[in-house]
Chain A
């Protein structure tokens, strides 16, 4: 498969044509052509962040079925132990999360339990702001944690888009940068140059005109724009190669919106676009679908099913293509929910909740204990792992970025990754 992919890319790129210019083409163009080589991204890691909007009920996701307090506090919402996918003698996955159970058994899924924030906020916007800024002491700050991360790695000769948001809602604040532009897209098409009607050769005019040398021009900006144009052109061809023809149809995804989003992410990873961070979302804009104050059971069930099936399809798609080792997916939600259900078969805004990590280089298993159901933060589980430790882990250990400058201080990384 990966051999086929390379052939595709080679044809699509026409690298050889460009290299044959080498006797006359200036150095930077040759570098660009080489940089367009499909192998260039091999080994570059990719982070996929998946936001669960609305406040996911961690207790009905990773269920502490053995604890009597669970059933006692949730007369209508408690899930029957026999239907759970048992992780061990204490906890199990929600009945509709069979796909996560399978990923967990295969070592492709880790659960970080009891994650939360000091100075938590129980208001949606306030809590989301904390997770997005990663700055509980200064939630009014104007940049997001991933925005700062991409600002930090930007260099004057950077031509790639280091991060994108994939989804139909407004771009989440986590990606707010001071200087780098982070695109919002809904499909791979949005990163492809589209031909004008009746045109078949537009892109090659674009490329041919950009790659000609400009003798006598001492203008660094012009050279930069030439390189960007050539890279943008090559990028379109690479995306084309993985979204059309035989390469496009092999993976199976369920028909959920999230699955479609993750398929787009997989295609862009496969196309070696140089994007290191993908931000995606489940639950929608506004307050978010995970906010179940009433009649939680059915809705939550559907969301968790969508989550688990979509992520599993994504993982197996990448695994088939031997790309899973380069990818780490991380979920988060602005808060968990109260232990006790309310009188309307729902739950209130809480505190700590689990984070899921999926990928090919995880140690797998559980990280940290399930939070207590009696020693509470108000009426919700207490956090024991600062969410910024998870952020520091993915920045330092996974992306190879420097977390200290993003998070303001050094947080201890979690030991969750195989080297």
Chain B
């Protein structure tokens, strides 16, 4: 992973597909990194496959899995209709994240949930919120243009933002402001006048009992001046104008950079420019994600462990590694306690994430959640069992089982002194019990390193 610094900021090098060589070999650590970012972690079998497939073929698998994703998602869409509350939906989504043959799709749905942050606290109606997340999923790796159009007509978003009534006599800016400021061009690229004029273009749109309605006589069809353009614009026109602003693709690419590559540093404009230019052409999300995931930069030290796992990544990383299903109703509740209440982002800005995820209370909470998941009793029952997994991969001695867990959760990439401390204090060699291996797994997933994505 050692790369000269100047290369990291050279867009030509940074966005070229990574080809392993003697200096930058393809390792288990790199495979783990890819699965943490493009999925929610991996099991041992997936890591071994990735190791033999190499980076580009593994990215292929993550982008276009062999399995019948459509059938899987159709079945889950059906299950979700049984949810009677927004809280039930959280559990169904976590289940989908854990079981899906296409984890990248869920990872990107979560990205859009954070971007178009819409909370069930304002909406309350499970059906409307279910449709909202379905909309995000339908374009999660599709077209940002279609997604933005969908969002501008989505009852959940309009109700949450207090934009369920847009009268001609009383233009409502509560959707338009976040549309401009948060969803597209971003702060500093518009004036209050732009917001007022754009709000007029959105008059006529209402949400009545969870259904979108257009009432033509409430639409202000007069001329509007928006971001230097003039015309009798409608809401669709406003969306188009926003998509044509160069600030929009730049902002989206930056946000995705933080999500997929690293959140420690703000990337140089020169690094963002080529991707933003390409994205602006057709707003194809899949191509943008693909470029990032295949890149030299993605597999460099600028990206490796340069994100703090969100609570969902932390918990599902443990569950995926141990290859069993746990109660996601309980998990949704526990994740809310760690600051990530799915379907309920705190504000329209989404979760701030990064260092905000962690303080002494949530660090303690992660410790306790890991205990609950691994202890073999209590709310998560005896689903996750490190012994079963290590035996599945032929590691029957305590020492080899411990090594497998280090490989599974950290790809063995841990300072030798820390490793030694773990093995010694967890007394793996001295004690052959199941409990001992559970405790060792717990010690591994409560390390600072495991909290890094």
* A interface residues with partner B (beta carbon < 8 Å): 140, 142-143, 154, 156, 158-161, 164, 176-181, 183-184, 191-199, 201-202, 204-206, 208-210, 212-215, 217, 219-222, 224-226, 228-229, 231-232, 235-236, 273-274
B3 — which chain A residues lie within 8 A by C-beta? none
Are B371 and A228 in contact (CB-based, < 8 A)?
Answer: no
8 contacts between A and B (CB under 8 A): A180-B359, A181-B338, A183-B362, A202-B443, A209-B422, A221-B355, A221-B452, A225-B308
Q: Shortest Cβ distance from A190 into chain B, in angstroms? A: 8
Are B368 and A194 in contact (CB-based, < 8 A)?
Answer: yes
Q: Shortest Cβ distance from B13 into chain A, in angstroms? A: 20
B351 — which chain A residues lie within 8 A by C-beta? 179
Q: Shortest Cβ distance from B1 into chain A, in angstroms? A: 12
Q: Shortest Cβ distance from B363 into chain A, in angstroms? A: 4
Taking A198-B439, A209-B421, A228-B358 as given, write out 19 further A-B residue pairs in contact, using a Cβ cutoff of 8 Å, ordered by the A residue number.
A140-B174, A154-B356, A164-B361, A176-B346, A179-B351, A181-B362, A183-B362, A196-B442, A197-B435, A206-B443, A209-B447, A213-B417, A214-B418, A222-B305, A224-B355, A225-B452, A228-B363, A231-B360, A232-B367
Are A161 and B415 in contact (CB-based, < 8 A)?
Answer: no
Question: B267 an interface residue at 8 Å Cβ cutoff?
Answer: no
Question: B337 an interface residue at 8 Å Cβ cutoff?
Answer: yes
Q: Shortest Cβ distance from B386 into chain A, in angstroms? A: 12
Are B425 and A181 in contact (CB-based, < 8 A)?
Answer: no
Q: Shortest Cβ distance from B351 into chain A, in angstroms? A: 8
**Complex alpha-carbon distance, A228 and B362, angstroms:** 9
Q: With A140-B174, A222-B449 as known contacts, state yes or no: A192 contacts B359, CB within 8 Å.
A: no
Are B363 and A194 in contact (CB-based, < 8 A)?
Answer: no
Are A194 and B371 in contact (CB-based, < 8 A)?
Answer: yes
Question: B364 an interface residue at 8 Å Cβ cutoff?
Answer: yes
Question: B143 an interface residue at 8 Å Cβ cutoff?
Answer: no
B337 — which chain A residues lie within 8 A by C-beta? 183-184
Are A235 and B425 in contact (CB-based, < 8 A)?
Answer: no
Q: With A178-B349, A196-B439, A225-B308 as known contacts, state yes or no: A161 contacts B426, CB within 8 Å.
A: no
Q: Is the interface of A mostly helix, strand, loop or mixed?
A: loop
Of A212, A217, A228, which is within 8 A of B359 by CB? Answer: A228
**Complex alpha-carbon distance, A274 and B356, angstroms:** 16
Q: Shortest Cβ distance from B306 into chain A, in angstroms? A: 7
**Complex alpha-carbon distance, A204 and B443, angstroms:** 10
B376 — which chain A residues lie within 8 A by C-beta? 197
Are B418 and A206 in contact (CB-based, < 8 A)?
Answer: no
**Complex alpha-carbon distance, A106 and B426, angstroms:** 55
Are B374 and A196 in contact (CB-based, < 8 A)?
Answer: yes
A177 — which chain B residues lie within 8 A by C-beta? 346
**Complex alpha-carbon distance, A205 and B447, angstroms:** 9
**Complex alpha-carbon distance, A50 and B348, angstroms:** 28
Are A215 and B360 in contact (CB-based, < 8 A)?
Answer: no
**Complex alpha-carbon distance, A418 and B305, angstroms:** 50
User: In the complex, what residue of chain B is closest to A236 when comparing beta carbons?
Assistant: B364
Are B448 and A232 in contact (CB-based, < 8 A)?
Answer: no
Are A215 and B442 in contact (CB-based, < 8 A)?
Answer: no
Are B264 and A221 in contact (CB-based, < 8 A)?
Answer: yes
**Complex alpha-carbon distance, A47 and B426, angstroms:** 41
Question: B81 an interface residue at 8 Å Cβ cutoff?
Answer: no
Are B452 and A222 in contact (CB-based, < 8 A)?
Answer: yes
Identify which of residues 345-397 in chain B touch chain A, using a CB-to-CB cut-off of 8 Å: 346-349, 351-352, 355-365, 367-368, 371, 374-377
